[in-house]
Structure formats: structure tokens, C-alpha cells
Amino acid sequence: MEADKYIFMITGMLIVTFLPRFLPLMLLGKKELPQKVISWLSYIPAAVLSALLAPSILMDGGRLYLSLDNIALLAFFPTLLTAYKTKNIFLTVSGGLIFYLLLEMIL
């Protein structure tokens, strides 16, 4: 009985992961999208990344944490500058980790 639950759960996860990727490709794969749609779609990765990172940078224990003790917030600013200057995801992520670790050692 327990194996049935796992199979059902894995099948459900497969469906909800596969369909949102497959359907747009199937329906729109051979069509030319308007430039406005392409422009709008280009903002989605940045919006999703922001939505994922903002709570971990700005929150602690479910409360807003804007303080000089917030190492993640302090490391965010040089990381943002690195991203702006280099426009390189590897350097940005590496720099963010280094900034965070340095601040962790200093503070």
C-alpha cells in the first residue's frame, strides 16, 4: 500500500513538472511570437530569482530584518554591483559567496 502512494506521488510530480514545459512547446513551438511577448518573457527569470532570493535576504524568522547585523543584506550590495559590472552569472554567484563568507568572518 505504501508503494502505491509513492508511485502516485511521483506520477503527480511528473505531470505537474512536465506539462507546464511541454504544452507551451507543443502549442507555440512552430509559431512566431510577437516581439512584445518575447520582451515580456525575458523578464521572467529575473523576477523568479528575485522572488526566491528576497525573503532569504530581507527576512529572519518571518520578520523583516533590516539591520547591520544582517550579513546576507550586507553581502547583497557588493554582489549586485558585481552583477551590474560583469554581467556574468558565475562571477556574480562566486562573488556573492565570497562577500558573504568574508562578512561572516569579519562580523
The per-residue pLDDT for range 51-87, each reduced to its tens digit, is: 999 999 999 999 999 999 999 999 999 999 999 999 9
Q: For residue 91, count other CB atoms closer than 10 A to its CB.
A: 14
Is residue 57 domain-resident?
Answer: yes
Please list, residue by residue across 5-44, b when 16 or more beta carbons sit within 10 angstroms of its beta carbon and e when fewer do. eeeeeeeeeeeeeeeeeeeeeeeeeeeeeeeeeeeeeeee
Is residue 6 domain-resident?
Answer: no
Of 93, 14, 19, the residue nearest 49 (C-alpha): 93
Using one digit for the tens of pLDDT, what is the confidence trace for 11-58? 999 999 999 999 988 888 888 889 999 999 999 998 998 999 999 999
* pLDDT at position 104 over 70: yes
The three cell numbers of residue 8 are 502516485
Q: Which domain holds residue 92?
A: 32-106
Domains of the chain: total: 1
Decide if 46 contacts 63 (C-beta within 8 A).
no
pTM, to two decimals? 0.67
